[in-house]
Protein backbone atom coordinates (compact mmCIF):
# COMPACT_ATOMS: atom_id res chain seq x y z
CA UNK A 1 0.00 0.00 0.00
CA UNK A 2 2.70 2.48 1.03
CA UNK A 3 4.77 1.42 -2.00
CA UNK A 4 1.82 2.16 -4.31
CA UNK A 5 1.31 5.56 -2.74
CA UNK A 6 4.94 6.47 -3.31
CA UNK A 7 4.75 5.38 -6.96
CA UNK A 8 1.69 7.60 -7.41
CA UNK A 9 3.50 10.50 -5.80
CA UNK A 10 6.36 10.21 -8.26
CA UNK A 11 4.65 9.40 -11.52
CA UNK A 12 6.99 10.34 -14.34
CA UNK A 13 4.45 12.39 -16.28
CA UNK A 14 5.76 14.30 -19.29
CA UNK A 15 6.33 17.97 -18.52
CA UNK A 16 5.05 19.06 -21.92
CA UNK A 17 1.74 17.29 -21.27
CA UNK A 18 1.36 18.79 -17.80
CA UNK A 19 2.02 22.23 -19.21
CA UNK A 20 -0.95 22.06 -21.59
CA UNK A 21 -3.82 23.56 -19.57
CA UNK A 22 -7.23 21.92 -19.41
CA UNK A 23 -9.36 23.73 -21.96
CA UNK A 24 -12.45 25.73 -21.04
CA UNK A 25 -14.24 23.70 -23.73
CA UNK A 26 -14.35 20.68 -21.45
CA UNK A 27 -15.58 22.72 -18.51
CA UNK A 28 -18.46 24.12 -20.56
CA UNK A 29 -19.37 20.72 -21.97
CA UNK A 30 -19.36 19.17 -18.50
CA UNK A 31 -21.43 21.97 -17.07
CA UNK A 32 -24.01 21.85 -19.86
CA UNK A 33 -24.39 18.08 -19.41
CA UNK A 34 -24.93 18.58 -15.68
CA UNK A 35 -27.56 21.26 -16.26
CA UNK A 36 -29.33 19.00 -18.77
CA UNK A 37 -29.33 16.12 -16.26
CA UNK A 38 -30.93 18.48 -13.76
CA UNK A 39 -33.74 19.07 -16.24
CA UNK A 40 -32.71 22.49 -17.63
CA UNK A 41 -33.33 23.27 -21.29
CA UNK A 42 -29.78 23.70 -22.59
CA UNK A 43 -29.07 24.81 -26.16
CA UNK A 44 -25.68 23.33 -26.88
CA UNK A 45 -23.72 25.64 -29.13
CA UNK A 46 -20.40 24.39 -27.78
CA UNK A 47 -19.65 21.24 -29.74
CA UNK A 48 -18.75 21.59 -33.43
CA UNK A 49 -20.21 18.32 -34.63
CA UNK A 50 -22.14 17.89 -37.87
CA UNK A 51 -25.89 17.73 -37.19
CA UNK A 52 -26.41 15.64 -40.34
CA UNK A 53 -26.35 11.86 -40.75
CA UNK A 54 -23.67 10.15 -42.84
CA UNK A 55 -24.84 9.99 -46.50
CA UNK A 56 -26.69 6.76 -47.39
CA UNK A 57 -24.19 5.81 -50.11
CA UNK A 58 -21.38 5.82 -47.56
CA UNK A 59 -23.41 3.82 -45.04
CA UNK A 60 -24.38 1.17 -47.65
CA UNK A 61 -20.77 0.91 -48.71
CA UNK A 62 -19.66 0.49 -45.11
CA UNK A 63 -22.13 -2.37 -44.68
CA UNK A 64 -20.92 -4.01 -47.87
CA UNK A 65 -17.30 -3.78 -46.73
CA UNK A 66 -17.79 -4.74 -43.09
CA UNK A 67 -15.96 -8.04 -43.55
CA UNK A 68 -12.74 -6.43 -44.85
CA UNK A 69 -10.34 -7.32 -42.11
CA UNK A 70 -6.82 -6.93 -43.43
CA UNK A 71 -4.40 -4.21 -42.44
CA UNK A 72 -4.22 -1.57 -45.14
CA UNK A 73 -1.18 0.11 -46.64
CA UNK A 74 0.21 2.62 -44.12
CA UNK A 75 -0.20 5.50 -46.58
CA UNK A 76 -3.84 4.54 -47.16
CA UNK A 77 -5.96 2.40 -49.49
CA UNK A 78 -4.93 3.18 -53.06
CA UNK A 79 -8.46 3.50 -54.60
CA UNK A 80 -9.34 5.98 -51.82
CA UNK A 81 -6.17 7.98 -52.42
CA UNK A 82 -7.02 8.04 -56.14
CA UNK A 83 -10.54 9.26 -55.40
CA UNK A 84 -9.05 12.01 -53.22
CA UNK A 85 -6.57 13.16 -55.85
CA UNK A 86 -9.48 13.33 -58.35
CA UNK A 87 -11.54 15.28 -55.80
CA UNK A 88 -8.75 17.82 -55.34
CA UNK A 89 -8.42 18.13 -59.12
CA UNK A 90 -12.17 18.58 -59.58
CA UNK A 91 -12.67 21.05 -56.74
CA UNK A 92 -9.41 23.02 -56.82
CA UNK A 93 -7.90 22.36 -60.26
CA UNK A 94 -4.70 20.97 -58.72
CA UNK A 95 -2.80 18.04 -60.21
CA UNK A 96 -1.57 15.91 -57.33
CA UNK A 97 -1.46 12.13 -57.58
CA UNK A 98 -2.50 9.37 -55.21
CA UNK A 99 1.19 9.08 -54.25
CA UNK A 100 0.94 12.53 -52.67
CA UNK A 101 -1.87 11.53 -50.30
CA UNK A 102 -1.77 10.09 -46.78
CA UNK A 103 -4.88 8.85 -44.98
CA UNK A 104 -5.11 9.12 -41.19
CA UNK A 105 -7.59 8.47 -38.37
CA UNK A 106 -8.92 12.03 -38.58
CA UNK A 107 -7.07 15.07 -39.85
CA UNK A 108 -6.30 15.94 -36.20
CA UNK A 109 -4.01 12.92 -35.88
CA UNK A 110 -2.29 13.87 -39.13
CA UNK A 111 -1.80 17.43 -37.85
CA UNK A 112 -0.13 16.00 -34.79
CA UNK A 113 2.11 13.83 -37.00
CA UNK A 114 3.02 16.87 -39.08
CA UNK A 115 4.02 18.83 -35.99
CA UNK A 116 6.09 15.86 -34.87
CA UNK A 117 8.10 15.56 -38.09
CA UNK A 118 8.58 19.29 -38.73
CA UNK A 119 10.95 20.80 -36.21
CA UNK A 120 9.88 24.39 -36.71
CA UNK A 121 7.86 27.22 -35.23
CA UNK A 122 4.10 27.29 -35.62
CA UNK A 123 2.40 30.47 -36.81
CA UNK A 124 -1.31 30.81 -36.12
CA UNK A 125 -3.84 33.51 -36.89
CA UNK A 126 -5.72 34.52 -33.72
CA UNK A 127 -8.44 33.21 -33.65
CA UNK A 128 -7.70 29.63 -34.73
CA UNK A 129 -9.13 26.18 -33.98
CA UNK A 130 -8.51 24.91 -30.44
CA UNK A 131 -6.10 22.03 -31.05
CA UNK A 132 -3.31 23.46 -33.22
CA UNK A 133 -1.57 25.22 -30.35
CA UNK A 134 -1.74 22.44 -27.72
CA UNK A 135 -0.34 19.99 -30.30
CA UNK A 136 2.61 22.31 -30.88
CA UNK A 137 3.15 22.65 -27.13
CA UNK A 138 3.10 18.86 -26.73
CA UNK A 139 5.91 18.75 -29.29
CA UNK A 140 7.81 21.55 -27.55
CA UNK A 141 7.45 23.89 -30.52
CA UNK A 142 7.29 27.65 -30.28
CA UNK A 143 3.95 29.21 -31.24
CA UNK A 144 3.44 32.71 -32.64
CA UNK A 145 -0.07 34.13 -32.64
CA UNK A 146 -0.79 36.74 -35.30
CA UNK A 147 -3.63 39.09 -34.37
CA UNK A 148 -6.67 39.26 -36.66
CA UNK A 149 -9.53 41.71 -36.32
CA UNK A 150 -13.27 41.79 -36.82
CA UNK A 151 -12.84 44.73 -39.25
CA UNK A 152 -10.89 42.34 -41.55
CA UNK A 153 -13.56 39.67 -41.10
CA UNK A 154 -11.24 37.94 -38.54
CA UNK A 155 -8.93 37.02 -41.44
CA UNK A 156 -5.14 37.10 -41.38
CA UNK A 157 -3.87 39.89 -43.64
CA UNK A 158 -0.80 39.72 -45.85
CA UNK A 159 0.66 42.77 -44.05
CA UNK A 160 0.44 41.14 -40.62
CA UNK A 161 2.02 37.97 -41.97
CA UNK A 162 4.79 39.88 -43.71
CA UNK A 163 5.60 41.89 -40.58
CA UNK A 164 5.90 38.70 -38.55
CA UNK A 165 8.06 36.94 -41.16
CA UNK A 166 10.42 39.91 -41.49
CA UNK A 167 11.05 39.71 -37.74
CA UNK A 168 11.69 35.96 -37.80
CA UNK A 169 13.12 35.43 -41.26
CA UNK A 170 15.96 33.12 -40.23
CA UNK A 171 13.58 30.42 -38.99
CA UNK A 172 11.52 27.86 -40.87
CA UNK A 173 7.88 28.38 -40.07
CA UNK A 174 4.70 26.38 -40.46
CA UNK A 175 1.59 28.52 -40.96
CA UNK A 176 -1.87 27.01 -40.54
CA UNK A 177 -4.72 28.65 -42.43
CA UNK A 178 -8.29 27.42 -42.05
CA UNK A 179 -11.04 28.37 -44.47
CA UNK A 180 -14.03 28.11 -44.02
CA UNK A 181 -12.96 29.01 -40.54
CA UNK A 182 -13.53 27.56 -37.15
CA UNK A 183 -14.32 29.67 -35.03
CA UNK A 184 -15.31 32.68 -37.16
CA UNK A 185 -17.05 31.26 -40.26
CA UNK A 186 -14.79 33.49 -42.37
CA UNK A 187 -13.73 32.34 -45.83
CA UNK A 188 -10.77 33.71 -47.72
CA UNK A 189 -11.47 35.37 -51.05
CA UNK A 190 -9.19 34.95 -54.07
CA UNK A 191 -7.37 38.26 -53.77
CA UNK A 192 -6.69 37.74 -50.06
CA UNK A 193 -5.19 34.35 -50.82
CA UNK A 194 -3.07 35.74 -53.65
CA UNK A 195 -1.67 38.39 -51.28
CA UNK A 196 -0.94 35.84 -48.56
CA UNK A 197 0.63 33.50 -51.11
CA UNK A 198 3.00 36.24 -52.27
CA UNK A 199 4.23 36.74 -48.70
CA UNK A 200 4.48 33.00 -48.05
CA UNK A 201 6.57 32.51 -51.18
CA UNK A 202 8.85 35.41 -50.31
CA UNK A 203 9.57 33.89 -46.88
CA UNK A 204 9.52 30.22 -47.90
CA UNK A 205 6.76 29.30 -45.47
CA UNK A 206 5.27 25.86 -45.25
CA UNK A 207 1.48 26.19 -45.19
CA UNK A 208 -1.01 23.71 -43.89
CA UNK A 209 -4.33 24.63 -45.45
CA UNK A 210 -7.02 23.14 -43.20
CA UNK A 211 -10.02 22.74 -45.50
CA UNK A 212 -12.12 20.41 -43.34
CA UNK A 213 -15.22 22.61 -43.99
CA UNK A 214 -14.49 23.16 -47.72
CA UNK A 215 -17.76 21.75 -49.08
CA UNK A 216 -19.77 23.80 -46.59
CA UNK A 217 -18.86 27.12 -48.19
CA UNK A 218 -22.31 28.71 -48.39
CA UNK A 219 -22.01 29.56 -52.08
CA UNK A 220 -20.07 26.41 -53.01
CA UNK A 221 -17.12 28.65 -53.89
CA UNK A 222 -14.35 27.42 -51.65
CA UNK A 223 -10.90 28.81 -52.47
CA UNK A 224 -7.59 27.30 -51.40
CA UNK A 225 -4.23 28.97 -50.94
CA UNK A 226 -2.83 25.88 -52.68
CA UNK A 227 -4.09 27.40 -55.93
CA UNK A 228 -1.68 30.34 -55.51
CA UNK A 229 1.19 28.78 -53.55
CA UNK A 230 1.03 25.14 -54.61
CA UNK A 231 4.70 24.29 -53.99
CA UNK A 232 4.53 25.17 -50.29
CA UNK A 233 0.98 24.12 -49.37
CA UNK A 234 -0.21 20.88 -47.84
CA UNK A 235 -4.01 20.49 -47.95
CA UNK A 236 -5.84 18.90 -45.04
CA UNK A 237 -9.41 17.66 -45.33
CA UNK A 238 -11.63 14.71 -44.44
CA UNK A 239 -15.14 13.40 -44.01
CA UNK A 240 -15.84 14.71 -40.47
CA UNK A 241 -17.71 17.89 -41.30
CA UNK A 242 -19.20 17.98 -44.80
CA UNK A 243 -19.93 14.23 -44.83
CA UNK A 244 -21.19 14.15 -41.24
CA UNK A 245 -18.78 11.38 -40.27
CA UNK A 246 -16.61 12.75 -37.45
CA UNK A 247 -16.86 9.50 -35.53
CA UNK A 248 -15.67 7.45 -38.51
CA UNK A 249 -12.25 9.03 -37.96
CA UNK A 250 -10.86 9.54 -41.44
CA UNK A 251 -8.92 12.50 -42.74
CA UNK A 252 -6.24 13.08 -45.36
CA UNK A 253 -3.33 15.31 -46.27
CA UNK A 254 -2.29 15.87 -49.89
CA UNK A 255 1.25 17.14 -50.48
CA UNK A 256 2.96 19.02 -53.29
CA UNK A 257 5.94 17.18 -54.85
CA UNK A 258 8.35 19.66 -53.25
CA UNK A 259 7.24 18.53 -49.77
CA UNK A 260 7.30 14.77 -50.43
CA UNK A 261 10.09 14.26 -47.84
CA UNK A 262 7.65 15.53 -45.21
CA UNK A 263 5.10 12.98 -46.41
CA UNK A 264 7.72 10.20 -46.22
CA UNK A 265 8.48 11.13 -42.61
CA UNK A 266 4.79 11.15 -41.76
CA UNK A 267 4.46 7.65 -43.25
CA UNK A 268 7.23 6.53 -40.87
CA UNK A 269 5.33 8.01 -37.90
CA UNK A 270 2.07 6.44 -39.12
CA UNK A 271 3.73 3.01 -39.49
CA UNK A 272 4.93 3.16 -35.87
CA UNK A 273 1.70 4.52 -34.40
CA UNK A 274 -1.74 3.98 -35.93
CA UNK A 275 -0.61 1.62 -38.77
CA UNK A 276 -3.62 2.36 -40.95
CA UNK A 277 -7.20 3.58 -40.78
CA UNK A 278 -9.80 0.81 -40.48
CA UNK A 279 -10.27 -1.00 -43.80
CA UNK A 280 -14.10 -0.79 -44.06
CA UNK A 281 -14.01 2.92 -43.23
CA UNK A 282 -11.44 3.61 -45.95
CA UNK A 283 -13.43 1.62 -48.51
CA UNK A 284 -16.72 3.30 -47.60
CA UNK A 285 -15.19 6.76 -47.73
CA UNK A 286 -14.39 6.48 -51.43
CA UNK A 287 -17.98 7.43 -52.26
CA UNK A 288 -17.62 10.70 -50.32
CA UNK A 289 -15.05 11.94 -52.83
CA UNK A 290 -16.43 10.63 -56.13
CA UNK A 291 -18.81 13.49 -56.81
CA UNK A 292 -21.89 11.31 -57.45
CA UNK A 293 -25.30 12.94 -57.85
CA UNK A 294 -26.32 11.55 -54.43
CA UNK A 295 -23.32 13.17 -52.78
CA UNK A 296 -23.93 16.46 -54.60
CA UNK A 297 -27.57 16.51 -53.45
CA UNK A 298 -26.50 15.76 -49.89
CA UNK A 299 -23.88 18.52 -49.83
CA UNK A 300 -26.20 21.06 -51.49
CA UNK A 301 -28.90 20.37 -48.93
CA UNK A 302 -26.47 20.64 -45.95
CA UNK A 303 -25.09 23.86 -47.41
CA UNK A 304 -28.54 25.35 -47.88
CA UNK A 305 -29.45 24.60 -44.26
CA UNK A 306 -26.19 25.92 -42.80
CA UNK A 307 -26.37 29.05 -44.96
CA UNK A 308 -29.94 29.78 -43.84
CA UNK A 309 -28.98 29.37 -40.18
CA UNK A 310 -25.63 31.18 -40.44
CA UNK A 311 -27.08 34.25 -42.15
CA UNK A 312 -30.38 34.52 -40.29
CA UNK A 313 -29.04 33.77 -36.83
CA UNK A 314 -26.28 36.32 -37.33
CA UNK A 315 -28.86 38.95 -38.38
CA UNK A 316 -31.02 38.20 -35.38
CA UNK A 317 -28.07 38.50 -32.99
CA UNK A 318 -26.96 41.77 -34.59
CA UNK A 319 -30.49 43.07 -33.94
CA UNK A 320 -29.83 42.33 -30.26
CA UNK A 321 -26.80 44.63 -30.44
CA UNK A 322 -24.26 41.79 -30.41
CA UNK A 323 -21.41 42.33 -32.89
CA UNK A 324 -20.81 39.64 -35.47
CA UNK A 325 -19.16 39.22 -38.82
CA UNK A 326 -21.50 37.36 -41.18
CA UNK A 327 -20.15 33.83 -41.69
CA UNK A 328 -19.52 32.57 -45.23
CA UNK A 329 -19.24 28.86 -44.55
CA UNK A 330 -19.27 26.11 -41.95
CA UNK A 331 -20.97 25.76 -38.57
CA UNK A 332 -19.78 28.79 -36.60
CA UNK A 333 -19.74 32.48 -35.94
CA UNK A 334 -17.90 34.57 -33.41
CA UNK A 335 -20.07 36.83 -31.27
CA UNK A 336 -18.60 39.90 -29.57
CA UNK A 337 -20.53 41.07 -26.50
CA UNK A 338 -18.51 44.23 -25.84
CA UNK A 339 -21.57 46.47 -26.41
CA UNK A 340 -22.79 45.10 -23.07
CA UNK A 341 -19.47 45.54 -21.32
CA UNK A 342 -20.76 47.73 -18.50
CA UNK A 343 -23.73 45.56 -17.57
CA UNK A 344 -21.58 42.46 -17.75
CA UNK A 345 -18.92 44.05 -15.53
CA UNK A 346 -21.56 44.91 -12.94
CA UNK A 347 -22.29 41.20 -12.82
CA UNK A 348 -18.65 40.26 -12.35
CA UNK A 349 -18.13 39.28 -15.99
CA UNK A 350 -14.90 40.74 -17.33
CA UNK A 351 -13.64 37.96 -19.57
CA UNK A 352 -14.94 35.51 -22.18
CA UNK A 353 -14.46 32.59 -19.77
CA UNK A 354 -16.73 34.08 -17.10
CA UNK A 355 -19.11 35.24 -19.84
CA UNK A 356 -19.57 31.70 -21.17
CA UNK A 357 -20.08 30.31 -17.63
CA UNK A 358 -22.59 32.96 -16.54
CA UNK A 359 -24.44 32.94 -19.85
CA UNK A 360 -24.93 29.19 -19.56
CA UNK A 361 -26.28 29.53 -16.02
CA UNK A 362 -28.57 32.45 -16.88
CA UNK A 363 -29.87 31.48 -20.34
CA UNK A 364 -29.10 27.78 -20.80
CA UNK A 365 -27.02 28.59 -23.88
CA UNK A 366 -23.63 26.89 -24.00
CA UNK A 367 -20.91 28.49 -26.14
CA UNK A 368 -17.12 28.48 -26.08
CA UNK A 369 -14.95 31.37 -24.93
CA UNK A 370 -12.67 33.14 -27.42
CA UNK A 371 -9.69 32.37 -25.17
CA UNK A 372 -9.73 28.77 -26.35
CA UNK A 373 -9.18 30.05 -29.87
CA UNK A 374 -6.27 32.33 -29.03
CA UNK A 375 -8.26 35.49 -28.30
CA UNK A 376 -6.86 36.47 -24.92
CA UNK A 377 -8.83 39.69 -24.61
CA UNK A 378 -12.36 40.70 -25.34
CA UNK A 379 -15.79 39.29 -24.76
CA UNK A 380 -16.00 36.88 -27.70
CA UNK A 381 -17.81 33.57 -27.77
CA UNK A 382 -17.92 31.01 -30.55
CA UNK A 383 -21.41 29.82 -31.39
CA UNK A 384 -21.66 26.44 -33.12
CA UNK A 385 -25.16 26.55 -34.56
CA UNK A 386 -25.65 22.80 -34.89
CA UNK A 387 -28.13 21.99 -32.11
CA UNK A 388 -31.13 20.94 -34.22
CA UNK A 389 -32.57 17.78 -35.75
CA UNK A 390 -30.32 17.63 -38.80
CA UNK A 391 -31.54 14.19 -39.93
CA UNK A 392 -35.15 15.30 -40.17
CA UNK A 393 -34.46 18.66 -41.76
CA UNK A 394 -32.01 17.17 -44.27
CA UNK A 395 -34.55 14.59 -45.37
CA UNK A 396 -37.20 17.30 -45.85
CA UNK A 397 -34.82 19.50 -47.88
CA UNK A 398 -33.73 16.54 -50.01
CA UNK A 399 -37.41 15.92 -50.85
CA UNK A 400 -38.08 19.61 -51.43
CA UNK A 401 -34.93 21.60 -52.30
CA UNK A 402 -36.96 24.84 -52.36
CA UNK A 403 -38.19 24.44 -48.78
CA UNK A 404 -38.18 27.83 -47.02
CA UNK A 405 -35.97 27.84 -43.94
CA UNK A 406 -36.49 30.41 -41.22
CA UNK A 407 -37.43 30.85 -37.57
CA UNK A 408 -40.82 29.22 -38.28
CA UNK A 409 -39.20 26.00 -39.54
CA UNK A 410 -40.13 23.48 -36.80
CA UNK A 411 -36.62 21.99 -36.59
CA UNK A 412 -35.02 25.45 -36.25
CA UNK A 413 -37.43 27.26 -33.92
CA UNK A 414 -35.51 26.39 -30.76
CA UNK A 415 -32.13 27.26 -32.28
CA UNK A 416 -33.38 30.63 -33.52
CA UNK A 417 -34.75 31.37 -30.05
CA UNK A 418 -31.12 31.87 -28.98
CA UNK A 419 -31.21 35.50 -30.09
CA UNK A 420 -34.32 36.32 -28.01
CA UNK A 421 -33.00 34.50 -24.97
CA UNK A 422 -29.68 36.33 -25.19
CA UNK A 423 -31.28 39.70 -25.88
CA UNK A 424 -33.55 39.40 -22.86
CA UNK A 425 -30.67 38.45 -20.54
CA UNK A 426 -28.31 41.15 -21.81
CA UNK A 427 -30.86 43.95 -21.67
CA UNK A 428 -31.75 43.10 -18.05
CA UNK A 429 -28.21 42.92 -16.71
C1 LIG B 1 -10.78 23.49 -38.04
C2 LIG B 1 -10.72 22.04 -37.73
N3 LIG B 1 -9.68 21.33 -38.19
C4 LIG B 1 -9.57 20.01 -37.94
C5 LIG B 1 -10.51 19.35 -37.20
C6 LIG B 1 -10.30 17.89 -36.92
O7 LIG B 1 -11.13 17.10 -37.69
P8 LIG B 1 -10.97 15.53 -37.81
O9 LIG B 1 -9.85 15.09 -36.91
O10 LIG B 1 -12.27 14.97 -37.38
O11 LIG B 1 -10.64 15.24 -39.26
C12 LIG B 1 -11.62 20.04 -36.70
C13 LIG B 1 -12.62 19.36 -35.86
O14 LIG B 1 -13.37 19.94 -35.11
C15 LIG B 1 -11.73 21.43 -36.99
O16 LIG B 1 -12.77 22.15 -36.56
pLDDT digit string, tens, across residues 35-75: 999 999 999 999 889 999 999 999 999 999 999 999 999 99
In angstroms, what CA-CA distances link 396 with 104, 144, 305? 33, 45, 11
CATH for 14-53+294-427 (3.40.50.720, 3.90.1150.10, 2.30.130.10, 3.40.309.10): 3.90.1150.10
Please identify, by atom number, the ligand 1 atom nearest to the C-alpha of residue 110.
9
Domain boundaries, the chain: 14-53+294-427, 59-290
Give the mutation target among 187, 240, 242 for probing the ligand 1 site: most ligand atoms within 8 A of CB.
240
pLDDT digits (tens, 9 = 90+) for 157-198: 999 999 999 999 777 899 999 999 999 999 999 999 999 999
Distance 51 CA to ligand 1 centre (A): 15
| φ, ψ of residue 135 in degrees (nearest 5) | -60, -40
Distance of CA 234 to the CA centre of its chain: 16
CATH of region 59-290, choose from 3.30.300.90, 3.30.70.100, 3.65.10.10, 3.40.640.10: 3.40.640.10
Atom of ligand 1 nearest to the CA of 238: 11
Ligand 1, residues at Cβ distance < 6 Å = 48, 106-108, 129, 178, 182, 210, 212, 238, 240, 246, 251
Give average pLDDT by consecutive 10-residue segment, the chain, 429 residues.
64 86 74 90 93 98 98 98 98 97 98 96 97 94 96 98 92 94 98 98 97 98 98 98 98 98 98 98 98 98 98 98 98 98 97 94 95 94 98 98 97 98 97
Span from the CA of 420 to the centroid of ligand 1 (angstroms): 30
Q: What is the pLDDT of residue 3?
A: 58
From CA 296, how far away is CA 300, in angstroms rounded? 6
Q: How much is the pLDDT for 171?
A: 77
**Residues 6 or more apart from 77 whose CB is under 8 A from it?**
103, 279, 282, 283
Interval between CA 133 and ligand 1 midpoint (Å) = 13
CA–centroid distance, 405 to ligand 1, in Å, is 27
Query: Residue 235 C-alpha to ligand 1 middle, in angstroms?
Result: 13
Amino acid sequence: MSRLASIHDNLPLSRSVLEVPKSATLAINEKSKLLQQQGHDVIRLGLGQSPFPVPDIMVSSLKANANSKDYMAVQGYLPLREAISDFIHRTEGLHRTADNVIIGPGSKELLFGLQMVLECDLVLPAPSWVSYEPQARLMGRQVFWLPCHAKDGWKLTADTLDRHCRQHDSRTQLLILNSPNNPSGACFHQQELKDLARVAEKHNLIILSDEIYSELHYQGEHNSIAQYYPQGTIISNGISKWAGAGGWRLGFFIFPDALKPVLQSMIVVASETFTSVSAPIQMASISAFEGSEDMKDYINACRKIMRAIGLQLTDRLVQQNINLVTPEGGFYNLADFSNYKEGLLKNGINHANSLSQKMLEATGIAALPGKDFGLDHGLNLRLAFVDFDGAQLLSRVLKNPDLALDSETPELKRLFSVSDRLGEWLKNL
